[in-house]
Every structure is written in structure tokens, then in C-alpha cells.
Structure 1
Amino acid sequence: MNTIMSDRVRKLVSATLIQPWTWPIITAPKVQLSTLSSEPVIASKKPFKVELVGGKRYSWCTCGHSKKQPFCDGTHKTKAQGLMPLRFIPEKDSKAWLCGCKYTANPPYCDGTHKQEFIQSALLPENTDS
């Protein structure tokens, strides 16, 4: 099989194969490994009572850092990079208790986990209403 190469391409190929690389070697920047925890912080020691609109998409904060509790404000992108919000769409309009401690077994809904000692004895982050 004959391949037609332009003179320019032939010179580039032969220069690359024969001559050692002469351009400055570019190294990748050093990567800083994150020391941020992928565990949520306890935003509140009690659930948040909210009115949900059926068919509307919500993003429940899973990291506990959001200033718009119980919903996500994007803070996880800098403070808890291993966590993402839980997105959900209720089927109908309803009142609900959304978890504030972030340790529920039925996210985003409260299951009473906040009553356990490890939640009640925990320190809350500053600027968080409890």
C-alpha cells in the first residue's frame, strides 16, 4: 500500500524519528491532593420543614456546607469535592421534613437519625442555624 506524503510531512517524520527531542520539555503542574473530607458536616441537629412543589427539581445539600440549607448552593465544589447534591423531583405538592444532619438513611427525608448521640453531641459549623 503506497501512501503519498508531502515533502513537509516526510521531513517532520524523519526529524522526529532520527533526531532527539530538542524542544523544552514541558512538565505537568504539581497536583495538590485534597485533604477535604468526603464526610458531610452536620448542618443542623434537627430537620428542615419545607413545602415542595410537585414536578419541581430540587437539589438537597449532602455536604452540610450550604448556606441555603437544606438545599445546595454549590459550596461542595470547594469545601467537599467528593460530595454531590441529591437531586429529586416530588410527584405532588407536599410538606416534608428534609434531613439537616446529613446522616439519614432515607435521603433527603429525615428518618430521626439526628436524635442519636453522635449528632446531638457534635459541634455545628459556624454560621449555621440549628
Structure 2
Amino acid sequence: MDSESEYKHLFPIAIEVESGKKYLWCGCGKSKTQPLCDRNDCGNQCVSYVAELNEEIYFCNCKQTKNPPFCDGTHSKLLLEIVKHRKEQANHQKDCLNDRSGIKEKDC
């Protein structure tokens, strides 16, 4: 999986909304039309939004926003956690390659 498609779900999606039109934001992540909902079984995870203006809105796509359906930047924290975790994994692998003595194979 390339890095662009691997992290695509962590970035907001800009949508040109129309004044007075209703949009249903998917909070469960199961919709095939992300970030908007195309399902009937989402329950309270689906958030209704009626546009007040014709404008571009950034809808949350990571599903961790504290202000649904809008992006609040939470995805940046998620990306930092992923980078930190991958760096720790890489350092662990490097340590395993540099010093195999005393390290059990299953630890690497």
C-alpha cells in the first residue's frame, strides 16, 4: 500500500455545499461515499448538516473530530502518533540487526 492511499482516510474532505441543502455526515466509517453517509443503519453516528451558504466545507474523514461533521485538526495528532510508532518500530528493528546477542528471535 502506498503512503497516499494508506493515510487518505486521515485527511478532511472538501465539499462544495449548497445553501439550504441537507448533508448526512458518516461517523461510523462504513459508508462507501465518505465522508457522507449512504447507509440506513448508522444510527446516532450519522450527523445531519444543512448548509447556510454556498461554500467549501471541510468534512472530517478521520472520524475523531470533537465537532462533527467538521474537521477540527484531530487527524494531525493521529498522524503524529503513526509517525512516532513507525519510528519506534524502525529503531527496534535497527537494534535487532545491530545486536543479536541476548535478543530472542521472537523479540525482533
In the TM superposition, what is the alpha-carbon distance from 1:92 to its structure 2 partner? 1.0
Structure 1 vs Structure 2 CA RMSD: 2.5
2:59 corresponds in structure 1 to 98
- In structure 2, the CA distance between the partners of 1:54 and 1:82, relative to structure 1 (3 Å rule), is closer
Instruction: Map 1:12-91 onto structure 2 (within 5 A).
Output: 44-74=9-39, 77=41, 83-91=44-52
In the TM superposition, what is the alpha-carbon distance from 1:118 to its structure 2 partner? 6.9
Unaligned runs of 5+ in 2: 1-7, 83-108
Percent identity reads 39
Instruction: Give the TM-score taking structure 1 as reference length.
Output: 0.52
Structure with the higher strand share, 1 or 2:
2
Unaligned runs of 5+ in 1: 1-42, 122-130
Moved over 3 A (4+): 81-84, 117-120
Instruction: Give the TM-score taking structure 2 as reference length.
Output: 0.61
Structure with the higher helix share, 1 or 2:
2
Q: Which has the larger radius of gyration?
A: 1
Q: Distance in 2 between matches of 1:96 and 1:59?
A: 13
